[in-house]
């Protein structure tokens, strides 16, 4: 039996838009409602950790009232026929809840909190669920430092970028869904595809991609776009 083709997905906020989670940069998006550098940067965390803690408490409350959309489910269903890896900029767990088994979170995970002194040390990670989704501002991690959201803040390194780039480099097909490709290094992952690898982009709006790359734009939302993609792949 031939080996399954490797499909790598790179997803962003638009992937979860049909689940009811706001994107960041669309009209009415999160960064119009909140000052991004106060709630999502390293400096913002140092200046006002209580504000940041409350902001992510609110995001977590919303997440636990949210379900995966059709698009998440179709991405998960692709595992039947393909070797699938999902690289997501999203901090929600909707890919996992839809059934995807290999998910790389570039920007952290909303359901986790960690030590603010030793962010990547799993010893201090805690997983929060619907019944304990709020952190009281000022709560300490087991090492005595403030408990912080396990989020990669602006101004911080992205620890999972190297494994993500390695996966993109091995992809037979790259599918980008619902990201404006504004935030680096995630946006640069597209450059790690091998020459000639088909790249599909699912987004209702135009998204600019690096010059010279040939990208098939499926101009639709995540669910409809995934249906169209699966038809295209079935025919090829």
Which spans of this chain sit near ligand OAD (rule: CB under 6 A)? Answer: 12-14, 17-18, 23-26, 29, 40, 89, 107, 152, 177-180, 182-183, 202-205, 207, 221-222
The H helix count followed by the E strand count for the chain is: 8, 9
- In sequence order, which ranges of 89-172 are alpha helices (DSSP H)? 94-98, 161-169
Cis peptide before 119 (omega within 30 of 0): no
Q: State the Cα–Cα distance between residues 165 and 227, nearest whole angstrom.
A: 26
Shortest distance in whole angstroms from residue 218 CB to ligand OAD: 10
Catalytic residue among 72, 95, 105, 107: 107
Give kind and range of the element (H or E) at residue 94: helix 94-98
Shortest distance in whole angstroms from residue 159 CB to ligand OAD: 13
Closest to 133 measured CA to CA, from 155, 148, 111, 157: 111
User: In this complex, which beta carbon is closest to ligand OAD, that of residue 141 or of residue 152?
Assistant: 152
Shortest distance in whole angstroms from residue 15 CB to ligand OAD: 6
User: In this complex, which beta carbon is closest to ligand OAD, that of residue 4 or of residue 37?
Assistant: 37
Q: State the Cα–Cα distance between residues 191 and 201, nearest whole angstrom.
A: 14
87: left (phi over 0), alpha (psi -120 to 50) or beta: beta
Shortest distance in whole angstroms from residue 90 CB to ligand OAD: 6
User: In this complex, which beta carbon is closest to ligand OAD, that of residue 180 or of residue 193?
Assistant: 180
CA atoms within 13 A on the CB side of 156: 22
Q: Is 95 a catalytic residue?
A: no
Shortest distance in whole angstroms from residue 79 CB to ligand OAD: 20
- Sign of the dihedral through C-alpha 212, 214, 220, 225: negative
User: In this complex, which beta carbon is closest to ligand OAD, that of residue 77 or of residue 220?
Assistant: 220
User: In this complex, which beta carbon is closest to ligand OAD, that of residue 13 or of residue 135?
Assistant: 13
Residue at shortest CB range from ligand OAD: 14
Question: CB of 154 within 8 A of CB of 40?
Answer: yes
| Pairing between β-strand 173-177 and β-strand 147-151 as defined by DSSP bridges | unpaired
Q: Which residues are catalytic?
A: 107
């Amino acid at each position: 039996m031939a080996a399954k083709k490797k499909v790598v997905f790179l997803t962003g906020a638009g992937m979860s838009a049909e689940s009811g989670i706001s994107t960041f940069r669309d009209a009415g998006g999160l960064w119009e409602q909140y000052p991004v550098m106060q709630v999502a940067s390293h400096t913002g965390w140092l200046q006002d950790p209580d504000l940041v803690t409350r902001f992510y408490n609110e995001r977590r409350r919303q997440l636990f009232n949210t379900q995966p959309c059709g698009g998440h489910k179709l991405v998960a269903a692709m595992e039947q026929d393909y070797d699938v890896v999902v690289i997501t900029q999203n901090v929600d767990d909707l890919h996992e809840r839809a059934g995807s088994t290999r998910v790389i979170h570039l920007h952290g995970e909303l359901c986790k909190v960690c030590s603010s002194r030793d962010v990547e040390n799993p010893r201090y990670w805690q997983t929060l669920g619907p019944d304990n989704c709020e952190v009281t501002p000022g709560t300490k991690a087991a090492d005595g430092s403030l408990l912080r959201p396990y989020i990669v803040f602006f101004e911080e390194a992205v620890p999972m970028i190297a494994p993500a780039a390695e996966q993109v480099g091995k992809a037979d097909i790259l599918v980008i869904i619902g990201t404006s490709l504004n935030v680096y290094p995630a946006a640069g992952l597209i450059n790690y595809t091998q020459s000639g690898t088909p790249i599909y982009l699912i987004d209702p709006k135009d998204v600019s991609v690096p010059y010279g790359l040939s990208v098939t734009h499926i101009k639709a939302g995540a669910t409809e776009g995934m249906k169209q993609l699966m038809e295209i792949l079935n025919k090829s």
